[in-house]
Amino acid sequence: MIDNHTTPAALHEIQDQLSWRPLRLLNYYRLFLATVFLFFFISGFTGKILGTQQPSLFFWVCLLYLVISVAFIYTAYTRSPDFKQQVGIQAAIDIITITVLMHASGGIESGIGMLLIVNVTASSVFLSKQTAYLTSSSASLAVLAEQFSADYFLLTEIINYPKAGILGLLLFSSAIIASSLSTRSRESQALAKQTTAELADLEKLNEHIIKNMHTGIVVVLPNGQIYMANEAAEVLLGNRKLDGRPHLSGISAPLYKRLRQWLKSPNMEQLPLQQQQGLVDLQPGMSMLDVNRKNSEIIIFLEDAAQLNQRFQEVKLASLGRLTASIAHEIRNPLGAINHAAQLLSESLKEPSNIKLSSIITTQVQRLNHTIENILQLSRQNSSNRESINLYDWLAAFKSEFCSSQGLTDEQLSIEITPRDTEILFDTSHLHQVIWNLCSNAVSHSQRQKPQIGIQLQGGVTLDSRYPFLDIIDNGKGIEPELVHQIFDPFFTTSSAGTGLGLYITKEMVESNRAKIRYIPLPSGGSCFRINFIASHKINNAENESTEEDSHQSGNQRLI
């Protein structure tokens, strides 16, 4: 069976190899046989074997067979008439010609009839099983008819019906074997072509799936050379073209380092990889293409760590939502009653110690209520509605509101955005809560007198990745290095009055807007939280491959 996608030229070549070329070889054999007969007959080299009974008949039949063989060769090249007709006509000519030559040379004893086995067997290869049986039967009958006519008309002294019968049996047997083998061969060939076509379609299907799937796929050799990759991988790696088999270390040094670590320890835990600023964090996964083959290719699966984490968070928030509904009903109402009772009690108390105890009750109730509010807010988070925001103008409006609320002067909160027209994609309500939380933390955790508190909002566009960013810097004591990796965990706090949900909610809101937030330690002291935004429009394509550490160092130098 031929694949439907096979071109006409390829189809012509396949038909030529399977049918017409073998038929032309059979015609060359006929031409050779006729030429040899004529040569031996004319030269008398074989003695009195060829044409002993009727020399004239033998000569003219051989000459006619020679001409017909040339004609067969021509028709095989022109392919007219069609293949089956040519094979049938040629088989009939072979039977008639060889039988006549056998008759002219003395009948079955001449041995010429054995040539029928070759021609009938060769023709049976091209014919269907029924037609092959008909051809072999016709050849057997022709041999028996020749013996009968020679016996009836007393044309030869030796009549051997047993030999004629054996020759007929050989003809029939060889035709059956040749036809059966040919049929199986054609079936196997058709099955092979069908399997090839199905494999080709499956390969196209796999290629289509891999090309359009959201998970990045990178196939690398053990030495780190990229063998192939899909479009999702190119996007996740910073819109880098991965054709031409580049080396992985030149595309992503952290990913190549992780690959070398995985080769040494395949059971290692795959933690997210941080890329340069402006690019998403990667969650890699690695697997051998063929575990039973040495130096097998390695498949690297790449996913957006923020999206993956967001999916995990959605599952957690769904469970948390059900929990908070119960909390709101079971805890908030009793807390309200306790708070109201404490206020009423404080109005009737006169002793300072009792008033202080009542105040403690009210304070702790308010703290519990604030914790519940944070949990409810976390469970009610909606998807972000990102819009283009001019970062400087928005921060200027925010500064006025925040300073008025916190009792700070304009000099205590400074804004520096370069260039001034830097724009970001973010949900305005989320941005307000994120910046408010970070600035409020700078005030509440400063451990300085309020007039000494200083907050800097510095940002712009990074020189390497050309993505906008914002640094929220305070002049507090900073965060202990051993605690940095925990600050975004839920319910982690170093303050006895804190809930441990502020920075966790902040991080969730930032990542829901496809941005990233990180803590950057400052040599001069204090804390710096950097938010890497999505640009509303890119100024230039990110071509520089500077590492994230270099960009942090350049940012820190500018901050200092």
pLDDT in tens, 270-326: 888 887 766 778 889 999 888 888 888 899 998 888 777 777 766 766 676 666 666
Instruction: For Cα atoms 60, 62, 66, give the angle at the middle one, nearest 5 degrees.
Output: 115
| Average pLDDT over all residues of the chain | 81
- Encode pLDDT of 154-178 as tens digits: 666 666 788 888 888 888 888 888 8
Which run of H or of E encompasses 413?
strand 413-418
**Which segments of 213-245 does DSSP mark as H helices, in order?**
231-236
Rounded distance between C-alpha atoms, residue 185 and residue 422, angstroms: 72
- Encode pLDDT of 325-361 as tens digits: 666 667 777 878 888 888 887 777 777 777 788 888 8
pLDDT of residue 49: 77
pLDDT of residue 67: 95
- Who has greater pLDDT, 228 or 3? 228
Instruction: For Cα atoms 344, 347, 352, give the angle at the middle one, nearest 5 degrees.
Output: 125
Rounded distance between C-alpha atoms, residue 24 and residue 19, angstroms: 9
- Burial class from Cβ neighbours inside 10 Å (0-12, 13-18, 19+) for residue 19 reads middle
Across the range 199-212, mean pLDDT stands at 79
Indicate left, alpha or beta for 394 from its phi (over 0: left) and psi (-120 to 50: alpha).
Answer: alpha
- Encode pLDDT of 475-520 as tens digits: 888 888 888 888 888 777 776 666 677 888 888 888 888 889 999 8
pLDDT of residue 374: 62
Shortest CA distance to 392 belongs to which of 370, 408, 415?
A: 415
Shortest CA distance to 133 belongs to which of 182, 166, 97?
A: 182
pLDDT of residue 165: 84
What confidence tier does 44 reach under pLDDT thresholds 50, 70, 90? confident
pLDDT of residue 540: 39
What confidence tier does 47 reach under pLDDT thresholds 50, 70, 90? low
Residue 477, C-beta contacts closer than 8 angstroms, at least 6 positions apart: 447, 525, 526
- Encode pLDDT of 14-39 as tens digits: 555 667 888 899 999 999 999 999 99
| Highest-confidence segment of 160-169, 436-445, 533-542 | 436-445
pLDDT of residue 126: 84
pLDDT of residue 377: 61
Shortest CA distance to 27 belongs to which of 85, 84, 91?
A: 91
Q: Name the pTM for this structure.
A: 0.42
